[in-house]
Structure 1
Amino acid sequence: MNDSPTIDTVLVANRGEIARRIIRTLRDQGIRSVAVYSDADVAAPHVREADDAVLIGRAPAAESYLDVDAVIRAAQHSGADAIHPGYGFLSESVALAQACARAGIVFIGPSTLALEIMGDKAKAREHVAARGVPVVPGFTAEGLSDAEIAGRADEIGYPLLVKPSAGGGGKGMEIVSDADGLGTALASARRIARAAFGDDALVLERLIRRPRHIEVQVFGDSHGTVIALGERECTLQRRHQKVVEEAPSAGLTVGLTERLLEAAVRAAESVAYVGAGTVEFLVDADAPDDFFFIEMNTRLQVEHPVTEAVTGLDLVALQLGVAAGGALPAPPALSGHAVEARIYAESPERDFLPSTGRILRFAVPRGVRVDAAIETGSEVTGFYDPMIAKVIAYGPDRATALARLDQALAQTIVLGADTNIAFLRQLLANERVVSGDLDTGLIETLLPVRSAEPSAAMIAAAKQELLRGTGRAEPRLTQDVLFRRSGGVWGALTDTDARAVAFLTDAEEIVESSSDAVGGVIAATDADGAIWVSEDGRSMRLRPVDRRQRMLRRLAAQRPVSAETAPEARAPMPGSIVAVHVEEGAAVTAGQPLVSIEAMKMEHPVLAPHDGTVHLLVTVGDQAKRDQAVATVTPVAVTPAETIAPEDIPEGGTA
C-alpha cells in the first residue's frame, strides 16, 4: 500500500456506528475527520468524536444526510479533500460521485461507471449475465404497464420477488405468492422506492424457496487489480434485513466457494472496479451447487467486521489507500471464524415494530468487538435505521465464535428502548443455526415471538429502583403506603406484605414482587416513571401501578369479554404517515388498510378495526406516536327490515 496518502481531511457523509467506525480509522491513520449531522443528531457520539462537525439540515434524511449539495458545501466549508460515504444514504449515489468530481474532492468509492451499472439492479443483471455470471430468472419492469408486467410475471411463474431497481438493504422488496397480490405489491414497492431512492423502477425475479444469501467481499485498485477477500454467510435475515452474518460461510464446499469468488471477481473486473464492494449471490439450499447473482453493492457493507476479523485487515484503511492511488496487497489467508449480530431498536414480541426512546443505560462486555451508534444518554428516533449496534465475536472455529457471541449478548445492556437481544440469543441457540442448516426463511419458523414474564429478580430489581427513586428506606408498615413517582405515576405497598410492589408489563400483565433477590439485574427509570430492567441480555419496561389500578384490572378480567372492537385505529409504532388509502367518510370493511406509517426503514399499514364509516385524524406527512389514534371507524347502523303487508307474503312463505 502507499504509506504516504495525499488525503489529509475526510468528511464522513454518514452517521451512527459506521461514522464512528470510519472516524476511528481516520484517527489511527493521522487523517483529520469531519462529521456531518442533522438537528436530530446534535448530541450524537459521532459528532463529538470527529475533529470537526458541520450541521447539514433537519432530522428527515431527505433534508440532511441525503442532500448532495449540503454534503458538498460541508466538505468545502471544512476544507475536506475527500468524502467517505459509509454505507446506506449516499454511498451508492452517482450524483454525489459526480458532484465530488466537479468540486475536485476525492470520492472514496468506485467510478461513476461502476455506480451507474451496478447501482441499477436491472442493468447489473444484464451486464454480468453477458459475462457468464448466472442470474435468477426475471425481468425489469421499467417502461411496462401493469398489465404487461402481469403477463411477464405469468411467464416467469410465482412466487415472485418484486424489488426496486435502485437502492438496497431490502427496502421496498415485496414477495408475491400469486397474481392476485401483484397489483398491491407493485404499488407499495414503487411508493417506497420513490421515497427512499427517488426512482420507482422495479425488477421482478423468480423467488427461490430455500435460498442461502452468500456474499463475496471484493476490492479493486486503480492499477487494474481486483481481489476477493473470502465470502460471508448472510442468510439469517427477516424482511430482507440481515440479522446475523458470519465469515466464512457455514459449510459451503471448497469447489462452490472457489466458483463464487471467481464469479465475484469477474463481475467487479467488468466495470474496472476500484475500492470496496460486495457481490451478492443466492445459493439454493436444496441444490447447493447452484448459485445466482443478486446484485453488487458498490460500498462497504454493514457486516465488514467479520471479514476484518478473519483476514486481519482494516478495510477502511484499505479504502483510503486505494483512493489515494495505492496498490492492493496480495489477499491474505483466512483464519478462524467470526460472527456478527445486529442489535435493532425493535420489539420482537410486537412483530418487530420499531422502538424509540432515550437510552438510560448502555454497556457492552469486553473481549468482543462492538460497533455502536449509541451510548448512555443517546436518543433513538424514528428518522433513521433501527440498527443501534453490532456485536462481533471471533474464535478458532464456528462453534467457539457462536458461543462467544451468545455470551457477549447476555452481557450487553440496553435500557430505554426495546431491542432484539433476547431474540438474537434464541436464534443463536436454534439447532438448525448451530448445525449450519440455513435458509433465509429460518427466522420465520421461530415466529411469532411470545412475550415472556419478567423473572423474580427483574421484579425485585424494579422494586428496589422504585424505592430508591423515592429517597426512602425499605418501609415496615401494616397499612397501605402510596408514594408519588415522577410523571404522576403511583407505586403501592400492600398491607399483606409491606415489601410487595406491583407493576404492569407492556403486555398489560400485572406482576408483583415480595422477593429481594436482585442478582445481576440492572435497572433504570425513564422520564415517564416506568422502570427498565435488564437480565442476561433481556430487557423489559415495567410501569408501577397502585392498589386501585390493580383492583380495577382484576375486576375487568373477571367480566365477560365484549365481542365489539374499539372504534379507533391506532398507530402500532411511532413514525411518519406516508400514505392515506381511503377518503374521508368512505365506507370501509374490517381489515382494510386506512393509512401507512413509516419508521426506521419499515412501512406498516393501519387497518380498519371493523366495518363502518371512516373519519381520518391524520394526513400524509404527519408524525404519529405509538398508540395514537389515526382514524376512527363508526359502525354502520342496521336499518330495520321494512314491514311487509300480509297480502304481499307468498303462499307458504313467512315474513
Structure 2
Amino acid sequence: MFDTVLVANRGEIAVRVIRTLRELGVRSVAVFSDADADARHVREADTAVRIGPAPAAMSYLSVPALLDAARRTGAQAVHPGYGFLAENAGFARACAEAGLVFIGPPASAITLMGDKIRAKETVAAAGVPVVPGSSGSGLTDDRLVDAAREIGMPVLLKPSAGGGGKGMRLVRDEALLGDEIAAARREARSSFGDDTLLVERWIDRPRHIEIQVLADTHGNVVHLGERECSLQRRHQKIIEEAPSVLLDEETRAAMGEAAVQAARSCGYVGAGTVEFIVPGNDPASYFFMEMNTRLQVEHPVTELITGLDLVEWQLRVAAGERLPYEQRDITLTGHAIEARICAEDPARGFLPSGGTVLALHEPQGNGVRTDSGLGEGGEVGSLYDPMLSKVIAYGPDRATALRRLRAALADTVILGVPTNAGFLRRLLAHPAVVAGDLDTGLVEREAAGLVPEGVPEEVYAAAALLRRSTAPAASLADASGWVDPFSVASGWRLGGTPARTVLDFRLPGHDPVQVSLRSCPAGTELAFGHVGEGAQPPEPVTGACGPLAPLPGGRETARLVEVSGPRLSLELAGVTHAFTHAPSPDGVWLGRDGDSWHVQDHDPVAASLAGAGRSGADTLAAPMPGTVTVVKVAVGDEVVAGQSLLVVEAMKMEHVISAPHAGTVTELDVGAGATVAMDQILAVVAPVEAPGEEA
C-alpha cells in the first residue's frame, strides 16, 4: 500500500477519498485553489497545497501544478476523484511519466472509452448491444444534421469527449438542429475542451441503468450489480438507487456479463461504470451508452448493498493487489438510495445558487450516510460544479430506504445557500417514484408540481417573532406554555392598548409580505398580507389580545416556544414547527423540512426608488450568479423578440438571455468574461413604437 496519496479534486469527493485513506493509515494530500483555501477537504487532509487561483483552468485543471504538489509532498500516487481530470488520459500519462501511480484505469482505456464513437464500435465488436446512431468521428454540423434526419427525430446530441449530461441536447424539431448543435458544441468545448459531437436515436421513456465493474491488473473482472439512475434533470442524475426494481435475476446477470465484456474490451483496470439505456416496457432490450472510466458520484449505494469500500479497492488494485473474489462471491443485500444536494433554487427554475453556509446540519447514522464537502462559514460560488453533498439511506427493502431518505432530507439544514433538498424530498414521495415506475423524463414532467408556489405562513411568523425577540438564547415560555408578558419585547403594558409591530419581508421570487403582530399573555397574534396595489386590510376583528385590524391574509395566533442557539420552535394554529435559523447581513435564513427561505427586511419605497428606470419588461437581469461567456449584440442594435443576446454560465450550465420583445438595445452593461451577481442588470431593450404612437 502507498504511504502518501494526493487527491486531485475538491469538495465532497475529496473528503470521501480522504476518509478511506485515513482508515487505511495512508497520508493524504489535498490541493486547493484560492477559492477553497478554507474548504473542508483542506482541513481534513493530513497536508494541503495551494495550486493556483480560483478558475479551474488555472488550478484544478493544471497538470503541472498538480504534479508539482505531488513532488513537493512526496506522494506516490494520485487519486483523481471524479470530474476535472478524472477521465483525462493526458493526466494519467503525465502521472506515469512523473513516476506516480494514477489510481484509475490505464490511459489507453480512458482514451478509448472517452471517445464515445470509438467506444461504441469497440464494445459492439465484443458483442455488446449499442444504441443506433451516427458513425465516424469529427462530423461537421451538416453531417450531424444529415445523420439526424436519417435516424429520424427525436435525436440526442452528445459530446464525444465527456459525460455527466454536459452538452447533451434532446432535439425533437428538425428546424432547431443548427442552434442546438452550436450550443452543444459550446458547452462541450467549455466542459471537456473538445466539441466533437455524435447523434443517437432518442428512446422515449427510457430507463438509465448502469453496472459497476471492478477489474485488477491480473485479468480478473467482476460486476457489483446495477444502479437505477433514471431520475434526472437536464440529463443530470439527482436520485440513484441499487438494485433496480426493473430487473429480474436473469436480466441482471445478462447486463452484468455485458458490462464485464465491455471492460475487458478496453483493457480496463480499477473501478468503472458501464451505462445502459433500457426501454421500460422491455428490460431485456438494453443498449450500451457509454463507459465512465472513474469512480461515480453514486458509488455509495453500491457500497451499502455489497459491503465493499470502492475507494479502498481502487487503492488496492492500483497497488497491484489481486481481487480476492469471483463473480459468484458477490451478493447484493438490502436496498440503498442516494439524493444529490445541489446549489440550485427550484423556485427560480433550478438556476444555480450560491452564498455563505450560515448553519449546517447533515444527518448520519440509523441507516443514513451523508457524504459532504460543506462546513459552516464556507462559501459556495459559481466556479465549480453545483453538487454540495449526497444523502444516502439504506434499508432491508426499498420502502424502508425511501422512508429513511425522506426523513434524512427533512433533517438536512444548509442555510445561506438555496438547495434542492426540499424538492428531492417531495420527489421521493411522488406515487410513481414510490411504485418504482421510473423513466428519465419523469422529473421534467412533474417538476412544476413539486415546487411550492407560495411560502407557508409559519415561515413569516417565525421570522417576525425571531426578528422582534431581544432574547434569542432564552426560552420565552414556562413549562405550562404561558409566556410572561414582561419578558417579551413587544411593547405590551398592563392596562394599556397592546402595541402592534409591523414588519415587511421579502423572499427571492415572491411578492413582499407584511406581518402584523402583537403580544399579550395569551400569545402573539399575527396577520399576513401581501404588500402591493389593492392590498387593503379587512374590517377589524377581536382576537385573544383584544381588537386587532389584521392585514389581508387572515389572522393566526402564534407562540414562540423556544429559541436555543440556532434552533427555533414555533407553535402556530396548534401545530409546532421546528426551524433552524442563522442571522446574515441581509436578514434571517430559516430552514424547515429540507426547504430553506431567506427572509429579508423589505422597504417597498426604498426598493421602488432603487429600481426606478432600471426595472420592468425592458430590463434584462442575470438569473443567477455566473460569468458572461457570449455577447451577441451591441448598443444600438435592433433585435427581434426571442433573439439570443447574451449567454451566462454558472456551475457548468449555460443560460441564454433573450430579447423580451422587438426593439433596440439601449444599454449593455457587461462584456464577455464579466462576472455577474444574481439579478444584476445586463441590458435594456427599448420596444419598437407602435405605428402612429408618439415618442
- Quote the offset at 1:543 in angstroms: 1.9
Q: Is the 8 A contact 2:9 2:60 kept in 1?
A: yes
Q: Deviations over 1:538-568 (max 9, x none)?
A: 2212223469789x99xxxxxxxxxx95221
Q: Is the 8 A contact 2:646 2:658 kept in 1?
A: yes
Could you tell me which of 552, 556, 559 is aligned with 1:516? 559
* Amino acid in structure 2 at the alignment position of 1:243: I
What CA distance in whole angstroms lies between the structure 2 residues aligned with 1:365 and 1:507? 41
Q: Is the 8 A contact 2:360 2:376 kept in 1?
A: yes
- Quote the offset at 1:329 in angstroms: 2.0
For 2:549, the equivalent position in structure 1 comes to: none
What CA distance in whole angstroms lies between the structure 1 residues aligned with 2:664 and 2:451? 34
Could you tell me which of 585, 590, 614 is aligned with 1:533? 590
- Tell me the TM-score normalized by structure 1: 0.89
Could you tell me which of 632, 636, 641 is aligned with 1:585? 636
For 1:181, the equivalent position in structure 2 comes to: 176
What CA distance in whole angstroms lies between the structure 2 residues aligned with 1:453 and 1:206? 40
Q: Deviations over 1:271-326 (max 9, x none)?
A: 22111100000001132221100100000000000000001011111011000000
For 1:336, the equivalent position in structure 2 comes to: 334
2:360 aligned with 1:309, yes or no? no
What CA distance in whole angstroms lies between the structure 1 residues aligned with 2:294 and 2:605? 58
What CA distance in whole angstroms lies between the structure 1 residues aligned with 2:143 and 2:394? 50
2:122 aligned with 1:65, yes or no? no
What CA distance in whole angstroms lies between the structure 2 residues aligned with 1:391 and 1:19? 16
Q: Is the 8 A contact 1:462 1:523 kept in 2?
A: no
2:203 aligned with 1:202, yes or no? no
Residue 14 to residue 259, structure 1, CA distance change in 2 (3 Å): same
Could you tell me which of 344, 363, 366 is aligned with 1:365? 363
Residue 143 to residue 333, structure 1, CA distance change in 2 (3 Å): closer
Q: Is the 8 A contact 1:416 1:526 kept in 2?
A: no
Between 1:33-42 and 1:60-69, the stretch displaced more is 60-69
Could you tell me which of 478, 481, 490 is aligned with 1:475? 490
- Quote the offset at 1:590 in angstroms: 2.0
Residue 536 to residue 137, structure 1, CA distance change in 2 (3 Å): same
**Equivalences for residues 265-414 of structure 1 within 5 A:** 265-330=260-325, 331-366=329-364, 367=366, 368-414=368-414
- Quote the offset at 1:492 in angstroms: 8.6
- Quote the offset at 1:438 in angstroms: 0.8
Could you tell me which of 626, 629, 637 is aligned with 1:575? 626
Between 1:476-485 and 1:34-43, the stretch displaced more is 476-485
Residue 502 to residue 151, structure 1, CA distance change in 2 (3 Å): same
- Quote the offset at 1:502 in angstroms: 8.2
Report SS of the residue matched to 1:515. strand
Q: Deviations over 1:108-154 (max 9, x none)?
A: 01001101100111111111111111111111574333222222211
Of all paired residues, the percent bearing the same amino acid is 52
For 1:558, the equivalent position in structure 2 comes to: none
Q: Is the 8 A contact 2:581 2:591 kept in 1?
A: no
Residue 85 to residue 506, structure 1, CA distance change in 2 (3 Å): farther
Between 1:111-120 and 1:464-473, the stretch displaced more is 464-473
Residue 507 to residue 156, structure 1, CA distance change in 2 (3 Å): farther
Equivalent residues, number:
622
What CA distance in whole angstroms lies between the structure 2 residues aligned with 1:528 and 1:502? 26
* Amino acid in structure 1 at the alignment position of 2:489: E
For 1:616, the equivalent position in structure 2 comes to: 668
Could you tell me which of 630, 647, 655 is aligned with 1:604? 655
Between 1:78-87 and 1:523-532, the stretch displaced more is 523-532
* Amino acid in structure 1 at the alignment position of 2:671: T
CA RMSD of aligned residues (A): 2.9
What CA distance in whole angstroms lies between the structure 1 residues aligned with 2:65 and 2:22? 24
For 2:509, the equivalent position in structure 1 comes to: none
**Equivalences for residues 148-167 of structure 1 within 5 A:** 148-167=143-162
Q: Is the 8 A contact 1:470 1:483 kept in 2?
A: no
2:253 aligned with 1:258, yes or no? yes
Q: Deviations over 1:391-436 (max 9, x none)?
A: 1111111111111111111111121111111111111111111111
Q: Is the 8 A contact 1:370 1:391 kept in 2?
A: yes
Q: Is the 8 A contact 1:523 1:531 kept in 2?
A: no
Residue 505 to residue 116, structure 1, CA distance change in 2 (3 Å): farther
Q: Is the 8 A contact 1:395 1:401 kept in 2?
A: yes
Q: Deviations over 1:87-124 (max 9, x none)?
A: 01110011111110110001001001101100111111
Residue 187 to residue 39, structure 1, CA distance change in 2 (3 Å): same
Residue 289 to residue 70, structure 1, CA distance change in 2 (3 Å): same
* Amino acid in structure 2 at the alignment position of 1:385: D
Between 1:143-152 and 1:33-42, the stretch displaced more is 143-152
* Amino acid in structure 2 at the alignment position of 1:156: I
What CA distance in whole angstroms lies between the structure 2 residues aligned with 1:523 and 1:344? 19
What CA distance in whole angstroms lies between the structure 1 residues aligned with 2:643 and 2:583? 36
* Amino acid in structure 2 at the alignment position of 1:205: E
2:14 aligned with 1:22, yes or no? no
What CA distance in whole angstroms lies between the structure 1 residues aligned with 2:470 and 2:623? 31
What CA distance in whole angstroms lies between the structure 1 residues aligned with 2:39 and 2:321? 33
For 1:631, the equivalent position in structure 2 comes to: 683
Report SS of the residue matched to 2:289. strand
Report SS of the residue matched to 2:239. strand
What CA distance in whole angstroms lies between the structure 2 residues aligned with 1:475 and 1:200? 63
Could you tell me which of 41, 64, 68 is aligned with 1:46? 41
Residue 587 to residue 502, structure 1, CA distance change in 2 (3 Å): farther
Q: Is the 8 A contact 1:84 1:109 kept in 2?
A: yes
Between 1:21-30 and 1:564-573, the stretch displaced more is 564-573
- Quote the offset at 1:216 in angstroms: 0.5
- Quote the offset at 1:196 in angstroms: 1.3
Q: Deviations over 1:54-110 (max 9, x none)?
A: 111111211111111111111111111100000011100111111101100010010
What CA distance in whole angstroms lies between the structure 1 residues aligned with 2:279 and 2:532? 39
Q: Deviations over 1:229-273 (max 9, x none)?
A: 111101111101101101111231222111110000000011221
What CA distance in whole angstroms lies between the structure 1 residues aligned with 2:532 and 2:336? 36
2:91 aligned with 1:96, yes or no? yes
Report SS of the residue matched to 2:585. coil
Residue 52 to residue 157, structure 1, CA distance change in 2 (3 Å): same
- Quote the offset at 1:463 in angstroms: 2.2
- Quote the offset at 1:484 in angstroms: 12
- Quote the offset at 1:464 in angstroms: 3.1
What CA distance in whole angstroms lies between the structure 2 residues aligned with 1:84 and 1:456? 48
2:508 aligned with 1:457, yes or no? no
Q: Deviations over 1:329-382 (max 9, x none)?
A: 214311111011111111112111111011111102342100012122121111
- Tell me the TM-score normalized by structure 2: 0.84
* Amino acid in structure 1 at the alignment position of 2:636: G
Q: Is the 8 A contact 1:595 1:606 kept in 2?
A: yes
